[in-house]
Amino acid sequence: MMTKVGRYAATVTVLALAACRAGSQSREGAGGAAPDAQASRAESAATPEGRGESQAAPTPPGMQSRELDIAFLGFDRGSADAPVRVLEMSDYGCGYCRQFHMQTWPALRKEFVETGKVEWKFLPFVTGMFRNSSQATTAAECALEQGADAFEAMNHRLWADQKEWKGSSHAADVIAGWVGELGLDVERYSSCVSSDRRASRIVAANTLSRRLGVRGTPTFFIMGYPPLPGALPTDVFRQVLNQVYEDATKKAGG
């Protein structure tokens, strides 16, 4: 009889299909643009603010915390005491990442994150596959500088209106036009973008993705298990998380 871990591995092997792959074009027309200079200039590290920048997540396999501290990268949701921890790596320009966030993430958040079962770290990074992804990632980071609510508002808009900014010749202006509407401090946001003061976080996320060997987005690292690539169907993802949660609680109780 196949063990639970074995079933998990089989699920990953068979269903790791729906992902935007490095070195290939996406279905919606990725282009081939490399990350622009905005994402290549490292600035001094920003002071942690909000849930996403103040709580540590476990270091994924293959990384050492002294080499790249991911505690202050990305955005954390859920309880730091949750028995299951997930690191999601997504590119805002990836169509499959959008599919995950618009269709699957709301259910997972309600069932696993808000119930205290899973702590979820969302880490946006720029793969270089998608037009204007760098501008979108900078926008998310500059929103996060203003707190969790500001980030959630910008994050949702970036996914929901991906086609609008992705296809624009002036993506930064398109996104900047949402800032006041989303309730962010317009002056602070503009200063953040123009000064590139979040660039070091984007560079660090890109470095982490390379060190982990991420070749497609989205990719999920459920701590203690093999990577889970691709925007899997909601029911499949639910099955995996339930299994991992059951394993984790049994280990904690035993």
Residue 144 sits in which domain range?
44-55+65-253
pLDDT at position 21, please?
A: 67
* CATH number for position 194: 3.40.30.10
pLDDT at position 170, please?
A: 97
Checking if the pLDDT of 46 tops 60, the result is no
Pairing of strands 84-90, 118-124: parallel
- Give 31 or 52, the one with higher predicted confidence: 52
Instruction: Report the half-sphere exposure of 88 (CA within 13 A, side-chain side).
Output: 27
Decide if 10 is inside a domain: no
Decide if 1 is inside a domain: no
- Residue 205 exposed, middle or buried by CB count within 10 Å (0-12, 13-18, 19+): buried
Mean pLDDT of 16-30: 46
Asked if residue 138 lies in contact with residue 174, where contact means CB atoms within 8 angstroms, the answer is no
Decide if 109 is inside a domain: yes
- Distance between first and last Cα of the chain: 22
Span 154-202, pLDDT tens digits: 999 999 999 999 999 999 999 999 999 999 999 999 999 999 999 999 9
Checking if the pLDDT of 132 tops 60, the result is yes
pLDDT at position 68, please?
A: 59
Decide if 30 is inside a domain: no
Whether a cis peptide bond, with omega within 30° of 0, leads into 124 is no
Decide if 69 is inside a domain: yes
- The number of distinct structural domains making up the chain is 1
pLDDT at position 22, please?
A: 58
pLDDT at position 131, please?
A: 94
Decide if 2 is inside a domain: no
Decide if 160 is inside a domain: yes
Residue that is written with structure tokens 């959630």 in the block: 152
Checking if the pLDDT of 240 tops 60, the result is yes
pLDDT at position 19, please?
A: 64
Decide if 82 is inside a domain: yes
